[in-house]
Amino acid sequence: HRINLANRDQYVQSALDYRLHEFDFQVQAVVEGLAKVIPVPLLSLFTGEELRTMVCGHPDIPLDMLKSVAVYKGVEYNSPLVQWFWEILETFSPSERSLFLRFVWGRTRLPRNIADFRGRDFVLQVLDKYQPPDHYMPESYTCFFLLKMPRYSSKEILTEKLRYAINFCKSIDTDDYARITRDEGIGEARTVILNLDHSDR
Protein backbone atom coordinates (compact mmCIF):
# COMPACT_ATOMS: atom_id res chain seq x y z
CA HIS A 1 0.00 0.00 0.00
CA ARG A 2 1.12 3.51 -0.74
CA ILE A 3 1.39 6.02 2.08
CA ASN A 4 -1.09 8.86 1.91
CA LEU A 5 -2.75 11.34 4.23
CA ALA A 6 -5.45 8.86 5.13
CA ASN A 7 -3.15 6.07 6.30
CA ARG A 8 -0.10 8.02 7.48
CA ASP A 9 -0.93 7.56 11.19
CA GLN A 10 -1.24 3.83 10.68
CA TYR A 11 2.13 3.80 8.89
CA VAL A 12 3.86 5.72 11.70
CA GLN A 13 2.42 3.38 14.32
CA SER A 14 3.41 0.31 12.32
CA ALA A 15 6.94 1.67 11.87
CA LEU A 16 7.24 2.37 15.59
CA ASP A 17 5.98 -1.11 16.50
CA TYR A 18 8.48 -2.68 14.14
CA ARG A 19 11.45 -0.71 15.41
CA LEU A 20 10.54 -1.33 19.05
CA HIS A 21 10.21 -5.08 18.60
CA GLU A 22 12.62 -5.93 15.76
CA PHE A 23 15.18 -7.36 18.19
CA ASP A 24 12.79 -9.15 20.55
CA PHE A 25 14.19 -12.56 19.59
CA GLN A 26 17.80 -11.51 20.15
CA VAL A 27 16.99 -9.73 23.41
CA GLN A 28 15.21 -12.81 24.70
CA ALA A 29 18.28 -14.88 23.91
CA VAL A 30 20.44 -12.44 25.91
CA VAL A 31 18.01 -12.60 28.84
CA GLU A 32 18.07 -16.39 28.78
CA GLY A 33 21.87 -16.33 28.78
CA LEU A 34 21.97 -13.92 31.73
CA ALA A 35 19.48 -16.10 33.59
CA LYS A 36 22.04 -18.91 33.57
CA VAL A 37 24.45 -16.68 35.52
CA ILE A 38 22.25 -14.50 37.71
CA PRO A 39 18.54 -14.49 38.59
CA VAL A 40 16.99 -12.00 36.18
CA PRO A 41 14.83 -10.25 38.84
CA LEU A 42 18.04 -9.17 40.60
CA LEU A 43 19.02 -7.10 37.56
CA SER A 44 16.36 -4.57 38.52
CA LEU A 45 18.53 -3.64 41.52
CA PHE A 46 20.99 -1.91 39.18
CA THR A 47 20.74 0.95 36.74
CA GLY A 48 21.77 0.31 33.17
CA GLU A 49 25.03 2.20 33.74
CA GLU A 50 25.84 0.21 36.90
CA LEU A 51 25.19 -3.07 35.13
CA ARG A 52 27.35 -2.08 32.17
CA THR A 53 30.23 -1.15 34.49
CA MET A 54 29.94 -4.43 36.37
CA VAL A 55 30.03 -6.43 33.14
CA CYS A 56 32.43 -4.37 31.02
CA GLY A 57 34.53 -2.44 33.53
CA HIS A 58 35.26 1.29 33.56
CA PRO A 59 34.65 3.03 30.22
CA ASP A 60 37.54 5.34 31.12
CA ILE A 61 40.92 4.29 32.48
CA PRO A 62 41.34 5.63 36.04
CA LEU A 63 45.10 5.88 36.46
CA ASP A 64 44.86 6.01 40.25
CA MET A 65 43.41 2.50 40.17
CA LEU A 66 46.12 1.31 37.80
CA LYS A 67 48.83 2.84 39.98
CA SER A 68 47.41 1.11 43.05
CA VAL A 69 48.05 -2.33 41.51
CA ALA A 70 51.41 -1.47 39.93
CA VAL A 71 54.63 -3.19 41.00
CA TYR A 72 58.10 -2.34 39.74
CA LYS A 73 61.03 -4.56 38.85
CA GLY A 74 64.53 -3.34 38.03
CA VAL A 75 63.54 0.24 38.87
CA GLU A 76 62.42 2.23 41.90
CA TYR A 77 58.87 3.54 42.01
CA ASN A 78 60.17 7.11 42.46
CA SER A 79 62.76 6.98 39.69
CA PRO A 80 62.59 9.53 36.83
CA LEU A 81 61.70 6.80 34.32
CA VAL A 82 58.66 5.70 36.34
CA GLN A 83 57.60 9.31 36.87
CA TRP A 84 57.87 9.96 33.13
CA PHE A 85 55.80 6.86 32.44
CA TRP A 86 52.87 7.97 34.60
CA GLU A 87 53.09 11.56 33.40
CA ILE A 88 52.84 10.33 29.81
CA LEU A 89 49.79 8.21 30.60
CA GLU A 90 48.22 11.29 32.22
CA THR A 91 48.53 13.13 28.90
CA PHE A 92 47.00 10.26 26.92
CA SER A 93 43.46 10.65 25.63
CA PRO A 94 40.83 8.09 26.77
CA SER A 95 41.24 6.21 23.48
CA GLU A 96 45.05 6.13 23.87
CA ARG A 97 44.71 4.79 27.41
CA SER A 98 42.47 2.04 26.07
CA LEU A 99 45.07 1.24 23.43
CA PHE A 100 47.75 1.12 26.11
CA LEU A 101 45.70 -1.25 28.24
CA ARG A 102 45.06 -3.43 25.20
CA PHE A 103 48.79 -3.50 24.49
CA VAL A 104 49.78 -4.60 28.00
CA TRP A 105 46.74 -6.67 29.03
CA GLY A 106 44.76 -7.58 25.91
CA ARG A 107 41.67 -5.71 27.12
CA THR A 108 40.47 -2.15 26.74
CA ARG A 109 38.98 -1.49 30.18
CA LEU A 110 39.97 -1.87 33.78
CA PRO A 111 37.88 -3.95 36.19
CA ARG A 112 35.16 -2.25 38.21
CA ASN A 113 37.16 -2.04 41.44
CA ILE A 114 40.39 -3.25 43.07
CA ALA A 115 38.80 -6.48 44.30
CA ASP A 116 37.96 -7.45 40.71
CA PHE A 117 41.67 -7.53 39.84
CA ARG A 118 41.77 -10.70 41.95
CA GLY A 119 45.40 -10.30 42.89
CA ARG A 120 46.60 -9.48 39.38
CA ASP A 121 49.27 -6.77 39.50
CA PHE A 122 50.38 -4.52 36.69
CA VAL A 123 54.12 -5.19 36.42
CA LEU A 124 56.45 -2.53 35.03
CA GLN A 125 59.92 -3.99 34.51
CA VAL A 126 62.96 -2.06 33.34
CA LEU A 127 65.83 -4.06 31.87
CA ASP A 128 69.37 -3.02 31.05
CA LYS A 129 69.93 -5.72 28.44
CA TYR A 130 68.71 -3.40 25.67
CA GLN A 131 71.74 -1.52 24.40
CA PRO A 132 71.57 1.18 23.30
CA PRO A 133 68.20 1.49 25.06
CA ASP A 134 66.80 4.27 22.87
CA HIS A 135 66.89 1.94 19.83
CA TYR A 136 64.46 -0.57 21.34
CA MET A 137 60.71 -0.76 21.77
CA PRO A 138 58.74 -1.71 24.88
CA GLU A 139 57.66 -5.35 25.20
CA SER A 140 54.31 -6.50 26.54
CA TYR A 141 53.20 -9.85 27.90
CA THR A 142 49.43 -9.63 28.04
CA CYS A 143 48.95 -12.95 29.87
CA PHE A 144 51.00 -11.57 32.77
CA PHE A 145 49.90 -7.90 32.62
CA LEU A 146 53.59 -7.12 32.16
CA LEU A 147 55.34 -4.24 30.43
CA LYS A 148 59.11 -4.46 29.88
CA MET A 149 60.98 -1.31 28.95
CA PRO A 150 64.55 -0.30 28.22
CA ARG A 151 66.04 2.39 30.44
CA TYR A 152 65.19 5.24 28.09
CA SER A 153 67.29 8.37 28.28
CA SER A 154 64.48 10.94 28.11
CA LYS A 155 60.77 11.44 28.54
CA GLU A 156 60.45 12.41 24.88
CA ILE A 157 61.89 9.12 23.67
CA LEU A 158 59.69 7.14 26.06
CA THR A 159 56.66 9.01 24.74
CA GLU A 160 57.59 8.26 21.14
CA LYS A 161 58.23 4.56 21.76
CA LEU A 162 55.13 4.05 23.87
CA ARG A 163 52.83 5.79 21.40
CA TYR A 164 54.27 3.79 18.53
CA ALA A 165 53.84 0.53 20.42
CA ILE A 166 50.21 1.04 21.43
CA ASN A 167 49.18 2.21 17.96
CA PHE A 168 51.01 -0.30 15.78
CA CYS A 169 51.62 -3.43 17.85
CA LYS A 170 48.16 -4.93 17.53
CA SER A 171 48.64 -8.43 16.18
CA ILE A 172 47.25 -9.93 19.39
CA ASP A 173 43.97 -9.33 17.56
CA THR A 174 43.63 -12.32 15.21
CA ASP A 175 41.34 -10.35 12.92
CA ASP A 176 44.10 -7.78 12.43
CA TYR A 177 46.58 -10.60 11.88
CA ALA A 178 44.43 -12.12 9.13
CA ARG A 179 43.84 -8.76 7.50
CA ILE A 180 47.52 -7.80 7.57
CA THR A 181 48.56 -11.18 6.19
CA ARG A 182 45.98 -11.03 3.41
CA ASP A 183 46.26 -7.39 2.39
CA GLU A 184 49.98 -6.83 2.76
CA GLY A 185 51.36 -10.31 2.29
CA ILE A 186 53.15 -10.33 5.62
CA GLY A 187 53.99 -13.87 6.60
CA GLU A 188 54.35 -13.26 10.31
CA ALA A 189 52.84 -10.57 12.53
CA ARG A 190 54.28 -10.22 16.00
CA THR A 191 52.66 -8.68 19.05
CA VAL A 192 55.90 -7.14 20.21
CA ILE A 193 58.25 -5.25 17.95
CA LEU A 194 61.82 -5.72 19.15
CA ASN A 195 65.06 -4.09 18.21
CA LEU A 196 63.43 -1.36 16.13
CA ASP A 197 66.41 0.76 15.27
CA HIS A 198 65.57 4.30 14.25
CA SER A 199 69.18 5.35 13.96
CA ASP A 200 69.01 5.37 10.16
CA ARG A 201 66.22 7.91 9.98
* Contact between 103 and 166 (Cβ < 8 Å): yes
- Told to judge if 143 belongs to the known catalytic residues of this protein, a careful annotator would answer yes
* Contact between 101 and 108 (Cβ < 8 Å): yes
H helical segments located in 57-196:
63-68, 80-91, 94-105, 155-168, 174-184
Crossing angle of helices 80-91 and 155-168, in 10° steps, is 50
How far is Cα 123 from Cα 84, in angstroms, rounded to an integer? 16
Active-site position among 143, 175, 183, 188: 143
* Contact between 55 and 92 (Cβ < 8 Å): no
* Other Cβ atoms closer than 10 A to 150: 23
Active-site residues, by number, are: 143
